[in-house]
A and B are shown apart, each in its own frame.
Chain A
Amino acid sequence: MERDKHFVLGVYEDEDVLLAAIRKVRDSGIKIMEVYSPFPVHGIDEALGYKRTRLPIAAFLFGLLGTSLALLMQIWMLGFDWPMIIGGKNFASLPPFVPVTFELTVLLSALGMVGTFMVVSDLKPYKKPRLMDIRITDDKHVMAIDLAGNKMSKEDIRKIVGDSGASEVNDKDFE
């Protein structure tokens, strides 16, 4: 079966029921593709067994890049390209470079983090959103299970999801 096409959706009314259901469903060997909820639910990352994000590493590296670029730029400009005496200081004296270096570090770190996040999450302008169920924007939590990612039959999955406390179990197919 093709990936990312055919889903079983469990609809839940309450976040505590949802958390219990996630554990139950995962314990029975089903792989959950994603859970959609209208508001942040505490403890959902642990329940889904998500690994911690590696975004901070990207942030650190982009920050390092910002620091180096800022220092290189200023040392090159004020020390080599157009040396000027300012306040009797050395051409390339470090203390006045600190504010600019700090700002560029923060800027590149932040922009780099946003960029990395968008690339990793496959977010881009004009991307057509794929909505599992319109009610996740209002008051329902939806657990999406990709049929291609599971060996179990559709009926078994529907049964387990239904028994876990879902108020509805729906099918969703994308073209």
Chain B
Amino acid sequence: MEDRPVCTNIATELIDTTVVEMKTDNTMTEEKFSFTSGAKRQISITGVVGLVLLVLGIVLSMNSGGHGEEGHGDEEHALTATEQTLEASVTQEEETHAAEEDEHAAATEEHHETATWLKRVYNSLWVNNIYFTGLAIIGLFFIAIQYAAQAGWSVGMLRVSLSMAHWLPIAGILMLVSWFIVKGDVFHWTHHDLYEGPHADDILIGKSALWFWPLEAGGFPLFYILRMVVFFGLWYMFFLWIKREMLAEDLDGNVSHWYKARKYSAIFLVIFAVSSSVAAWDWVMSIDPHWFSTMFGWYIFASWWVNGLAAITLIVVVLKQNGYLSIVNSNHLHDIGKFIFGFSIFWTYIWFSQFLLIYYANIPEETIYFIERIESSQYVWVFYMNLSLNFFLPFLLLMTRDAKRHMSFLKIVCPIVLVGHWFDFYLMVTPGVMKEEGTFGFVEIGMLMIFGAAFLFVTLSNLTKYPLFAKNHPMLQESLHHHI
């Protein structure tokens, strides 16, 4: 990149050259991933089993006649004399909750009665859309961060991350298409009778410009759809640009590609900062259209980010155990392990910041979100499992230095984080869609397996199309010598 000063110490020079030569012999030859038919078969079987489970779940759900009614609201609140204030606030919340449920019931009668099993399918479709979109965009975000920060340690992992981002166009099309299928059941605000007539809802009328601008409220949500298209379009465009520079560098070894990739990365990061936040409001927060939280953009980002890091790490570790990526050693794993550890805590920090303010302010229109999740037997286990899988376990398991450096530990923690954050998204989406009918069963597992298999197939088959690491990356040497 730059000319070395001529008068460097001779001893250093000598040692440097020997190391470079040694590495040239061992690892600098082009390394390519081959997606074996065995792996393909396993992934296909996972997908097919998922499909079978999905169908089985649908059949079971149809026969059970829908939903197990759970008593809610008639729980006895043990109260002491000193808790009068508490009682008052709880009663208020219960009333608001009940009122909203009535209103929902009325709204659904007006339209069509969607069967519970179909709602479950829609719900899990949407959960997986958000979840796997997150994995794909974090694939690109990770690369952008590394380029913008001019990081050298991560060179060996960038191609894994890049191949995850190949899911982006598929995620975009899936989300757009499935939005039109699920909108009536997932997004309450799409019902046109909420904007005029007897069911008119003042809060939603106030927010309607966010979705329907410039068209009439209750009609086609042009602004909303436009944002979805523009976000995916922008993300995909930057993905193509950054990928082009990364792969061109392999061929001619020109450093200008690195500078261009860094420029695109910096612009992408600015765009992503805004778009990920707005996407979080659009795709997840508007499922509970009356509710809002200013932490939500961060919350979705934190969840996506730590989840994506766990996915990158898991793929890298599995590749290493199959004899690939020898340039990634325990120093690099230590770094990405610190990332997972740190951002698990970051996610908890964001989660808690959102929770504490709502808990302490105790405003009914805000607390409803957590009441739906904690005081309902369908979701309360997910609520506490979410915290255990995404905070306590990664925190305790990854705390020591050795845990971050050993593949066996990472292979335990990464799946925990991946599953934990799936339930995180499940918990964000389901109570708003299914109300008291939400369950976790074959439908949800099956849909997750189908999506997971498809995502893995796309990722791994794209990983075969280019070398596993960039042999002309200007910081490859830095990465090879990385030592902490």
Contacts and interface: CB of A to CB of B under 8 A. Distances in A.
A16 B89 CA distance: 70
A98 B86 contact: no
A16 B11 CA distance: 7
A14 interface: yes
B177 interface: no
Interface in A92-143: 95-96, 98-99
Contacts of A95: 355-356, 359-360
The list of the 6 closest CB pairs from A to B, nearest first, reads: A88-B85, A88-B86, A88-B89, A14-B11, A16-B11, A16-B15
A73 interface: no
A87 B401 contact: no
Interface in A1-51: 14, 16-17, 42-43
A17 B356 CA distance: 57
Contact of B362 (A43, A88, A98): A88
A43 B361 CA distance: 53
Interface in B217-246: none
B22 interface: no
A167 interface: no
A99 B361 CA distance: 16
Nearest to B10: A14
Given A87-B85, A88-B362, 5 more contacts: A16-B15, A56-B400, A89-B86, A95-B355, A98-B356
B2 to A, nearest CB: 21
A96 B358 CA distance: 11
B17 interface: no
Contact of B360 (A17, A52, A90, A96): A96
B290 to A, nearest CB: 22
B294 interface: no
Contacts of A90: 83, 86
A25 to B, nearest CB: 17
Given A42-B483, A56-B401, A98-B356, A14 B362 contact: no
Instruction: Identify the interface centre among A42, A88, A95, A96: most chain B CB within 10 Å of its CB.
Output: A88
B1 interface: no
Contacts of B12: 14, 16
Contacts, number: 40
Interface of A: 14, 16-17, 42-43, 52, 56, 60, 83, 85, 87-91, 95-96, 98-99
A60 B352 contact: no
A16 B8 CA distance: 13
Contacts of B89: 88
28 contacts: A14-B9, A14-B12, A16-B12, A16-B15, A17-B11, A42-B483, A52-B401, A56-B400, A56-B401, A60-B399, A83-B82, A85-B82, A85-B85, A87-B85, A87-B360, A87-B361, A88-B83, A88-B86, A88-B88, A88-B89, A88-B362, A89-B86, A90-B83, A91-B82, A95-B356, A95-B359, A98-B352, A99-B356
A93 to B, nearest CB: 9
Contacts of B86: 88-90
B93 to A, nearest CB: 11
Nearest to A43: B483
Interface string B446-484: 000000000000000000000000000000000000010
Nearest to A96: B360
Contacts of B362: 87-88
A60 B483 CA distance: 25
Contacts of A60: 399
A90 B12 CA distance: 66
Contacts of A89: 86, 360
Contacts of B15: 16
Nearest to A17: B11
A90 B9 CA distance: 69
Nearest to B9: A14
B10 to A, nearest CB: 9
Contacts of A98: 352, 356
A35 to B, nearest CB: 17
Interface in B345-380: 352, 355-356, 359-362
Interface string B270-290: 000000000000000000000
Contacts of A85: 82, 85
Nearest to B14: A16
A13 B462 CA distance: 50
Contacts of A42: 483
Contacts of B361: 87
